[in-house]
């Protein structure tokens, strides 16, 4: 099956064509980072207007890159939850119009579940890629890096800008939540840390890079808190870590609330000191995730459940330290590890089209009055 996926939940306008749930024939992402950088965050009104301007050219390019025509499609998939309602509605309206006019099934997709599908995706390249710059022919393209199969039951982890959740996966589509963040998502904490350290926008990739030049064991670098919450909890908390970093950078506040002033800010720190603090932050954030995964494995074992695979998704699964740590941990626990290719970690439409294949196979298509919803089902 060939499925076109659309994704407009936040600040990337994306479209992709995926064959049989995993072979990515095209993956077009138009990011809006340039529009939001001066606000250090996504402005919903600007985002939805930009989606409106960009979506149809992005869809056209996804179709062209895949070397197909609209008539070749078997279904139209769209992320309809969770996200900014004004942004979601642009993608959903376009998907409905395409599905209706082409008389193909519409499939509404939960964006968070789709992040868990990203590790299954493989890019394709045309057989004659070296000789020609033509779009891949879907009938002759081959999978570049065949992926090992996820073995169920599996542990799933979504680490993104809005979510930090651990899941038990009994199949690609049977997903139950084991724990989630009680305050900031890990990506949100990274983005705020990026602001505190003046590291660049978006903060996640900038902090990752900065921390690689730093040493958390350097002199006077404080140990930042690794929140485990109460014994047995599989929930996460990152707001304490963020506040600890704020105080480490600025010193203690004088006065309260809005009127508080600080001893200094990031511009008073040497580049090396900033990198060292970023390294301390990265260590605490990644260790918190690692410990929760270990705790989940232990708890499931107590119930007689032995996960066979560890599946990651979401923007923060691109993080260099996290990728390294979970690979080692999976090896030590005898789990197969499934990390998305770097291009499929942050928001994209290939994961939407890929996950839709699972639902199409189950006959789970959506009506043309599919709503948009701000919150996830998982
Ligand atoms: P959600 O999927 O929960 O609705 P989202 O779609 O905004 O949220 P994603 O696009 O999956 O989130 O991920 C974006 C987040 O990933 C941002 O917070 C970004 O800073 C973070 N991120 C991206 N790359 C890295 C990295 N290398 N290290 C840490 N964080 C990263
Ligand atoms: Mg984004
Ligand atoms: Fe996302």
Reported ipTM: the value is: 0.98
Task: Tell the residue nearest (CA) to atom 5 of ligand 1.
Answer: 161
Instruction: Record the tokens describing residue 74, joined without a space.
Output: 């078997």
Smallest Cα–Cα separation from 150: which of 114, 112, 109, 116? 116
Most ligand 1 atoms within 8 A of CB, residue of 84, 113, 117, 160 to mutate: 160
What separation in Å is there between the alpha carbon of 223 and the centre of ligand 3? 30
Q: Indicate whether residue 314 lines ligand 1 (CB < 6 A).
A: yes
What separation in Å is there between the alpha carbon of 78 and the centre of ligand 1? 19
- Give the integer Cα–Cα distance in Å for 311 and 323: 11
Whole-model pTM: value is: 0.92
Q: Indicate whether residue 313 lines ligand 1 (CB < 6 A).
A: no
Q: Residue 142: its pLDDT value, please?
A: 52
- Give the integer Cα–Cα distance in Å for 360 and 366: 10
Q: Residue 135: its pLDDT value, please?
A: 55
Q: Residue 41: its pLDDT value, please?
A: 80
Q: Residue 258: its pLDDT value, please?
A: 82
CB atoms within 10 A of CB 164: 30
Q: Indicate whether residue 187 lines ligand 1 (CB < 6 A).
A: yes
> Ligand 1: which atom is nearest the Cα of residue 314?
11
Mean pLDDT per segment of 10 residues, for the chain of length 378 residues?
97 96 97 85 90 97 97 98 97 98 98 97 66 50 66 98 97 94 97 96 95 97 96 97 96 86 92 98 98 97 96 98 98 97 96 98 97 92
Task: Tell the residue nearest (CA) to atom 3 of ligand 1.
Answer: 162
CB within 8 Å of 172: residues ≥ 6 apart = 117, 120, 150, 355, 358
**How many Cα neighbours within 13 Å face the side chain of 68?**
24
> Ligand 1: which atom is nearest the Cα of residue 187?
18
Smallest Cα–Cα separation from 373: which of 148, 161, 79? 79
- Give the integer Cα–Cα distance in Å for 232 and 223: 23
Q: Residue 137: its pLDDT value, please?
A: 52
Model confidence over 144-161: pLDDT tens digits? Answer: 555 789 999 999 999 999
Q: Residue 127: its pLDDT value, please?
A: 44
Task: Tell the residue nearest (CA) to atom 27 of ligand 1.
Answer: 319
- Give the integer Cα–Cα distance in Å for 315 and 86: 22
């Amino acid at each position: 099956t060939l499925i076109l996926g659309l994704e407009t939940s936040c600040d990337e306008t994306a479209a992709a064509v995926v064959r049989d749930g995993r072979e990515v024939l095209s993956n077009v992402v138009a990011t809006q980072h340039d529009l939001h950088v001066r606000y250090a965050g996504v402005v919903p009104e600007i985002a939805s207007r930009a989606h409106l301007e960009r979506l149809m050219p992005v869809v056209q390019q996804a179709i062209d890159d895949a070397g197909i025509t609209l008539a070749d499609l078997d279904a139209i998939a769209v992320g309809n939850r969770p996200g900014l309602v004004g942004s979601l509605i642009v993608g959903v309206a376009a998907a409905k119009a395409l599905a209706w006019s082409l008389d193909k099934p519409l499939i509404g997709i939960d964006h968070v579940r789709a992040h868990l599908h990203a590790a299954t995706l493989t890019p394709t390249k045309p057989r004659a890629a070296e000789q020609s710059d033509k779009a891949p022919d879907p009938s002759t393209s081959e999978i570049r890096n065949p992926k090992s199969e996820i073995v169920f039951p599996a542990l799933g982890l979504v680490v993104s800008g809005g979510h930090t959740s651990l899941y038990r996966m009994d199949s690609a589509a049977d997903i139950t939540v084991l724990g989630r963040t009680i305050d900031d998502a890990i990506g949100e904490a990274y983005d705020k840390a990026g602001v505190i350290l003046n590291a660049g926008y978006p903060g996640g990739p900038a902090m990752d890079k900065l921390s690689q030049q730093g040493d958390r064991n350097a002199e006077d670098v404080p140990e930042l808190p690794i929140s485990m919450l109460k014994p047995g909890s599989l929930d996460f908390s990152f707001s304490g870590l963020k506040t600890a970093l704020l105080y480490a950078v600025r010193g203690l506040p004088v006065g309260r609330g809005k009127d508080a002033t600080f001893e200094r800010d990031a511009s008073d720190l040497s580049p090396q000191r900033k990198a060292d603090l970023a390294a301390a932050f990265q260590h605490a954030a990644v260790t918190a995730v690692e410990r929760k995964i270990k705790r989940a494995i232990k708890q499931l074992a107590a119930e007689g459940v032995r996960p066979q695979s560890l599946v990651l998704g979401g923007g923060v699964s691109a993080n260099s330290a996290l990728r390294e740590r979970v690979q080692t941990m999976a090896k030590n626990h005898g789990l197969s590890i499934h990390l998305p290719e770097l291009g499929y970690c942050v928001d994209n439409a290939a994961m939407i089209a890929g996950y839709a294949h699972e639902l199409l196979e189950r006959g789970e298509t959506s009506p043309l009055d599919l709503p948009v919803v701000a919150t996830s089902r998982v």
